[in-house]
A and B are shown apart, each in its own frame.
Chain A
Amino acid sequence: MSAEIVERVLAFIAAFVVGGTAIFQLKNELPARGLDASVTKVLLGLMIVGCVFAVLASVRVLGG
């Protein structure tokens, strides 16, 4: 198995684990109020988008 395939498989698995955990954290953060909580929610949301990018990149839908 080539290094590239190993990297893609690891990235795919990690993206699901990290993305799932980030969704869980965002869900827990939703009731919180205040500036820090609001900023954290936005940043966690964008990080979940990053995980989606990583999934799409690992299956070659994005990035070739």
Chain B
Amino acid sequence: MSALNSPLEAVEARYLDVDPVYAETRDIRLLGFVMALGADCVLFSSFIFAYLYLRTASPAWPPFVGGHQLPRLDTAFAALNSMVLFGSGVTMHYALENWKHLKKQAFNGWLAATIVLGILFLLGQGHEYLSAQMTWQGSSFGASFFTLTGMHGFHVLVGVCYLIVLMIQSNRGVYTGSKYFGLTAGTLYWHFVDVIWVFLFFLFYLW
């Protein structure tokens, strides 16, 4: 696939290889994928509501452990790390847009940036875990924090692996200008992971 200059050229080229079977099944596959994301939403919601219950039932938050109140989490670092993740959402969106306009080189660059930012976020989360002054077993705060952010971190890790696979596949010609459902799904998944973090960031660091 070569870089095309005018948007019209790109759109024309995109429809040169339309596959009727793909066109027919794409919407159903997309609906299935969105439903899978919805199921993931339910999973996170269950844990978030458990956290809300624990938090509202506690007389003080962060709770007292051994006569001392646990310190609040590091908001400044979390804000910066959040921006790394949200930034990766923006780069992923640009990656998909460049693919749609058949700019493969730009697509590769934006996708690589997304992968790097995803890994940076995971490293930041690892730093947060190492510097946290609480444990999983020690308090309801620690249990909910490590469970929810750990589950989210696992989703980010899966997302990074998914994006690496997408990069390999796209460079091997699996996707074309008209057939790129995997890339659409990857972008939606990555945005979803970003949005889950919006809620976790607010609940654990800002509230």
- Cross-chain contact B79 with A18 (CB below 8 angstroms): no
- Cross-chain contact A46 with B86 (CB below 8 angstroms): no
Among B78-92, those with CB < 8 Å from A are 78-80, 82-84, 86-87, 89-90
Select from chain A the residue with minimum beta-carbon distance to B87.
Answer: A18
Check: B206 CB closer than 8 A to any chain A CB: yes
- Cross-chain contact B188 with A50 (CB below 8 angstroms): no
Distance A15 CA – B87 CA, assembled complex (angstroms): 9
**Of A8, A47, A63, which one neighbours B86 at CB under 8 angstroms?**
A47
Looking at the assembled complex, report how far the CB atom of B33 sits from the nearest CB atom of chain A, in whole angstroms.
9
Tell me what chain A mostly uses at the interface: helix, strand, loop, or mixed.
Answer: helix
> How many residues from B make CB contacts under 8 Å with A?
36
Check: B104 CB closer than 8 A to any chain A CB: no
Where the two chains meet, the residues of B that have a C-beta atom closer than 8 Å to any C-beta of A are 27, 30-31, 34, 37, 72, 74-80, 82-84, 86-87, 89-90, 93-94, 97, 184, 187-188, 191-192, 194-195, 197-198, 201-202, 205-206
20 contacts between A and B (CB under 8 A): A4-B74, A7-B80, A8-B76, A8-B80, A18-B83, A18-B87, A22-B86, A39-B188, A40-B93, A43-B195, A44-B89, A47-B191, A49-B198, A50-B194, A53-B198, A54-B201, A56-B206, A63-B72, A63-B206, A64-B75
Where the two chains meet, the residues of A that have a C-beta atom closer than 8 Å to any C-beta of B are 4-5, 7-8, 10-11, 14-15, 17-19, 21-22, 25, 35-36, 39-40, 43-44, 46-47, 49-51, 53-54, 56-58, 62-64
